[in-house]
Structure 1
Amino acid sequence: MPARPVLAGAVSYVRDQLGLNAGDFLYEMCEGILACNYPVPDRMLRLSEVIVGQYIRKEMIGNHPFIGEFDLFAVEGGTAAMTYLFNSMRENHLLKAGDTIALGMPIFTPYIEIPELNDYQLVELNINADADARWQYSNKELDKLRDPKVKAFFLVNPSNPPSVRMSDESLEYLASIVEERPDLIILTDDVYGTFADDFTSLFALCPRNTILVYSFSKYFGATGWRLGVIATHRDNVFDEQLKALPEAQRKSLHKRYNSITTTPDDLKFIDRVVADSRTVALNHTAGLSTPQQVQMVLFSLFSLMDTPDAYKQAMKRLIRKRKAALFREIGIAPEEGDPNVVDYYTLLDIEQLGGKAIGPDFVKWVLSSQEPVELLFRLAEEAGVVLLPGRGFGTRHPSGRVSLANLNESDYVKIGRSIRKLFEEYVEKYNQATGNKANKNVVKK
């Protein structure tokens, strides 16, 4: 059958490249597919953790020096990772009501909304990426993290919605801040990292302080499978802070976890996340379903065995071809040459596109006289496509975020034509309102 060479290659890779027992691997995979047992260990199946860990090393750490080992918890996608981590940080007194957390903005909406819930009541401090600086964080913004009142920093890298990875310079600068703030907790959500060129996670630079969240959903087009992992280094600041808690809090946590271990004080943070995910009492039935873990392993092995990265290059070509079709119909060439642009999403920003095509006076007129959300409603009506706001969720601005991973190329052509039509109408209104004679066809096909 067509899949046979792939499966045979997977067994060979596990045995020869990873040094694992082929029989043990086959047994774990077959038992996992049959789903005839609870996930054991509950955090992640033993060999599955090793194999997925190799994938994480390849895609998130790459060639960056990395000392020590890390643990993985297999979860139901990035969604579950966020839910479990917020909950466990609260339950274990790493974050409490009134604490300040920093958010790398713009960011995926739930990272803004969850801390505001009555469950957490955290104070949010924005670390703002600069749209005019290609969505990078300035050193001045990152310096906000030097304030000891900031307990944690949550970011999505590459960012959502701009889809730009942190520059190497910013990563190094942030790592230097962590050296001064060894108590700072970092959560980096790197789901789009596999679409970036030469991606290195903050987890690679600051492993002791960083919780890594990764999901297989985007890269493999498998959102329905709900596949993700939480990673923590075995030598980490979270376990260190747990041991340093006041005696009363440690006794309270001792009582919380003593039903699952005889040494609750020694229970690692990541294993507490597992227990908390099942309200502790159901820890014995915790863990991601075994067929889901098998699928995660197959995705990982597929990538690990693809030494020339043929799949990755094909994905990048696909989304960039769609982007080219989109901007070709708009009639404006997209900005090129930024190695940090990932292109999983692209932004249709009337302010930037209008400034490039017509000029700054036209942009001022649009911002002052036109309804910011018109772009989104027009695209929904004319192209049958619903876009999200482009300048960050909850922001009123004439821009939209287009995912280049979800539609056929013909759909991006429709979006481009709708944008062009809207541009031409804006220019005509602008000429009538100001007496100018800007050419509505200045954007040439």
Structure 2
Amino acid sequence: MMVTKSSHFVSELANSIQPSGIRRFFDLASQMEDVVSLGVGEPDFTTPWNIIEASYHSLEQGYTAYTSNAGLFSLRREICRYLTKYDLDYNPEDEILVTVGASQAIDLVLRATIDRGDEVIIVNPGFVSYIPLIQMAGGKAVPLETKAENQFKPTPEQLEPLITAKTKAVFLCNPNNPTGTVLSRNDLEPIAQIVKDHDLLVYSDEIYAELIYEDDHVSTGALEGMKERTIIISGFSKAFAMTGWRLGYAVGPKEIIQAMLKIHQSSMMCASTMAQYAGLEALTGNSDNVKRMVRSYRQRRNYLVHQLNSMGLDCESPGGAFYLFPSIKKTGLSSEEFAERLLISEKVAVVPGSVFGESGEGYIRCSYATSMTQLEEASKRIQRFVENVE
């Protein structure tokens, strides 16, 4: 009898995808006791009760069937209304798609717009899922390596030389994961001009738009001439503490959204009905909880920035999201070595900056989406580690 190894059946594409560097450290930490995690980007707040209650009510009313493939019309209408706060104007009929988390929205837009061999310029450091999702769509990710001295902001001078005949799009994340960098109108407009000059698309991940601490969020799609070439990806996970509900959306030009819808119809059908009713409440109900969370994140950011700098880990105060990206270069360790040794010796989980791209080497990502008590304990342990590192 012939014995066949199951690995024989795994596709070349699946074999080529690198596993998540974030999840590797999260899995290591989950096997240890007394770990303080600054690793995974997930709010420590529970979903506000009015949102949970709305999902219960939808079940009690018997709303358990499929919704429209594009999502509940009432939810699509409210998302479009909500986006007007960022000077965005979309038709809920055909310019929006409700998805299973923002991650599915990214997957759909890449598959709907990329042909084999197309290039997508991505800002590094950048979220770890962008590259594998581009690869799975048949494209090639081209990194734009940003620098700490420029607050990890992409510049026109960096972008222009990367554009080739194969370039299809530029991928932006604003505010950025992992750096927390916020791109202002002055940062975005010259990039938008290059995009228009070369007839490119922009994929704009704006999942952290609510989590900005000093300035107002500026959406790429609101810039002059950019609505027709920008697909905005967002969702409910971060601002409304709804990570486990898996509810996101994409808005953009009708032709692209409808192409995404065709893939969504075959691969997913629709987002969870009860999650959609919860999302509807998130947008129409009391917003005090969101404001309270933002105030808390700002306080935590300020505390942890001060602590890291005081122990010699140079750290800028980022304008958004809930991440810090301190330099660990003075320790002489690589970001991978620093994160692994810190976890083993002091039981603090952080993410090595190298998993976010080459320009992330020499840095670590620390999430401050955890309690002040945990941040205080983590600070003590990190300082002890830094003082004793060899």
TM-score by length of 2: 0.75
CA offset at residue 341 of structure 1?
Answer: 1.7
CA offset at residue 404 of structure 1?
Answer: 1.2
Does the CA-based 8 Å contact 1:390-1:400 persist in structure 2? yes
Is residue 367 of structure 2 the alignment partner of residue 403 of structure 1? Answer: yes
Partner residue of 1:135 out of 152, 161, 172: 152
Partner residue of 2:107 out of 83, 86, 90: 83
Letter in 1 for 2:233: V
Is residue 276 of structure 2 the alignment partner of residue 293 of structure 1? Answer: yes
CA offset at residue 140 of structure 1?
Answer: 0.5
1:222-237 matches, within 5 Å, as 222-234=242-254
Letter in 2 for 1:287: C
- 1:130-174 CA-to-partner distances (Å, cap 9, x unmatched) read 211111112201224654431111222111110111132121112
SS at match of 2:143: strand
CA offset at residue 106 of structure 1?
Answer: 1.5
Match of 1:423 in 2: 386
Aligned length: 329
Q: Which range moved further: 151-160 or 387-396?
A: 387-396
Match of 1:341 in 2: 319
Match of 2:205 in 1: 189
- 1:40-77 CA-to-partner distances (Å, cap 9, x unmatched) read 3x21222221112112222xx2xx4x566462111110
1:70-109 matches, within 5 Å, as 71-89=95-113, 95-109=114-128
Does the CA-based 8 Å contact 1:348-1:399 persist in structure 2? yes
Structure 1 residues 397, 299: CA separation in 2 closer, same or farther (over 3 Å shift)? same
Is residue 299 of structure 2 the alignment partner of residue 271 of structure 1? Answer: no
- 1:362-386 CA-to-partner distances (Å, cap 9, x unmatched) read x3xx43xx45433212332355332
Structure 1 residues 203, 392: CA separation in 2 closer, same or farther (over 3 Å shift)? farther
Q: Which runs of 5+ in 1 are unaligned?
A: 1-5, 8-25, 90-94, 240-268, 352-362, 430-445
SS at match of 1:74: strand
SS at match of 2:130: helix
Match of 1:373 in 2: 336
CA–CA separation in structure 2 for the residues paired with 1:68 and 1:214: 14
CA–CA separation in structure 1 for the residues paired with 2:62 and 2:384: 55
CA–CA separation in structure 2 for the residues paired with 1:158 and 1:219: 12
CA–CA separation in structure 2 for the residues paired with 1:84 and 1:401: 28
Q: Which range moved further: 389-398 or 219-228?
A: 389-398
CA offset at residue 37 of structure 1?
Answer: 3.4
CA–CA separation in structure 2 for the residues paired with 1:43 and 1:223: 20
- 1:388-407 CA-to-partner distances (Å, cap 9, x unmatched) read 123552557343211111x2
Partner residue of 1:45 out of 50, 72, 77: 72
CA–CA separation in structure 2 for the residues paired with 1:337 and 1:380: 23
Match of 1:263 in 2: none
Does the CA-based 8 Å contact 1:326-1:415 persist in structure 2? no
SS at match of 2:348: coil
CA–CA separation in structure 1 for the residues paired with 2:299 and 2:58: 39
CA–CA separation in structure 1 for the residues paired with 2:166 and 2:309: 48
Match of 2:129 in 1: 110
Does the CA-based 8 Å contact 2:348-2:381 persist in structure 1? no
- The alignment's C-alpha RMSD in Å is 3.0
CA–CA separation in structure 2 for the residues paired with 1:349 and 1:33: 52
TM-score by length of 1: 0.66
Match of 1:319 in 2: 297
Structure 1 residues 301, 152: CA separation in 2 closer, same or farther (over 3 Å shift)? same
Bigger CA radius of gyration: 1
Does the CA-based 8 Å contact 2:118-2:167 persist in structure 1? yes
Does the CA-based 8 Å contact 1:274-1:286 persist in structure 2? no
Match of 1:151 in 2: 168
Q: Which runs of 5+ in 2 are unaligned?
A: 1-49
SS at match of 2:265: coil
Letter in 1 for 2:282: F
User: RCO (CA 8 Å, sep 6+): is it higher in 1 or 2?
Assistant: 2
